[in-house]
Amino acid sequence: MTVSDRPIATPSVDGPTVGMAVQFVLLGALAAGVGLGAAGWLAGTAYAGVTWVVLSRAMRRSGMSLLGPANQVTLARATLVGV
């Protein structure tokens, strides 16, 4: 067995960023479908920003670089709550 000393590539897009992007796509779909006022956009944007900041800090503190399957499901649920 050979052990390589090459560094492991880190993901180019992290979970919090994907969650925020998906939330904006869903907000856009909601706005196109049923209409979304300024207050709705403001609340959705604030929720996405706070979620991104808190999750990014938590991942950095714990040394995580990727979200596991259970964390991805939790992020998806949190994103749906924000929409």
By mean pLDDT, which of 2-11, 23-32, 67-76 is the weakest?
2-11
| Assigned token pair, 33 | 């479908």
Give, in order, the Cα–Cα distances in Å from 57 to each of 3, 17, 36: 32, 12, 30
- From the list 63, 69, 79, 77, the residue with the least C-alpha distance to 27 is 79
Tens-place pLDDT, residues 33-70:
998 889 999 999 999 999 999 999 999 999 888 888 88
pTM of the model: 0.75
